[in-house]
Copies of this chain bind each other. A is one copy, B any other.
Amino acid sequence: MGGWCGQWLAGRLEEPVARYDKVHKQATRQRIIETAGHRFKQDGIDGSGIATLMADAGLTNGAFYAHFSSKDDLVAHVVADQLDTQAESFRALPAGRAGLEGFLREYLSPQHRDNPADGCPSAALLDEIARCPAGTKHAYTDGAQAILDEIAARLAPEDPQSARAKALGLYTIAVGTLQVSRVVSDPKVADEVLEQGIQNARMFLG
């Protein structure tokens, strides 16, 4: 019973020999997710077609469905990836309030305002995500929780309850301020919006 022959057969049946490098397809898939993130944040989800997304990744439209079951499927994975990346960047911040102070200055900077493609997915896509299917909203919810945890840990590790509320205040005012500053036409006023946003957001650091 058993023995090497049976194991060999089972192995052959369940997992045929990989012709391509094992990580090759995974890498392509991840590349699509990341370039789609940039494109979505720049042109919107509705504003980005499959053919454009695939060209961004150096591929043609036909290959798309070998990686994702639908555009909605891609969107959900992009949202998850974008928030994971943002959570990661919070983890890289210095501990305590100093880290959050630095985050604020970078987040509410003219550079971030003028480069949505490389910036915060919430500021660029939140209200479009609100109109997405449940799967995408769920991906956002999970990702946002992780980010709020990171912020809360830097605010008051000894009091998780109130730190969570303050973390939400800090995040929502940062997102709202950046969105408003991106819409304001007059560059001078837009700069003032950012400055006042930093002052206002500091209320949640104290």
Copy total for this chain: 2
Asked if B131 and A47 sit within 8 Å, CB to CB, the answer is yes
Indicate whether A200 reaches chain B with its CB closer than 8 angstroms.
Answer: yes
Q: Which of B130, B183, B189 meets A182, CB within 8 Å?
A: B130
Tell me the chain A residues, 135-187 only, with Cβ under 8 Å from chain B: 137-138, 140-141, 144, 164-166, 168-169, 171-177, 179-180, 182-186
> Closest 6 interchain pairs by CB?
A176-B176, A172-B176, A169-B200, A46-B46, A130-B182, A173-B173
In the docked arrangement, what's the CA distance between A166 and B185, Å?
21
Indicate whether A93 reaches chain B with its CB closer than 8 angstroms.
Answer: no
Q: What size tier do the contact residues of chain A reach? A: 35 or more
A-B contact pairs, 17 of them (CB 8 A): A43-B131, A44-B46, A124-B130, A125-B127, A130-B179, A140-B184, A144-B180, A168-B177, A168-B197, A168-B200, A169-B196, A171-B180, A172-B179, A172-B180, A172-B200, A173-B173, A176-B177
Asked if A165 and B127 sit within 8 Å, CB to CB, the answer is no
* Chain B residues with CB below 8 A from A180, complex form: 122, 126, 144, 168, 171-172, 175
Main secondary structure of the interface of A (DSSP, over half): helix
In the docked arrangement, what's the CA distance between A166 and B130, Å?
27
Asked if B196 and A165 sit within 8 Å, CB to CB, the answer is yes
Asked if A44 and B131 sit within 8 Å, CB to CB, the answer is yes
* Chain B residues with CB below 8 A from A130, complex form: 116, 124, 179, 182-183
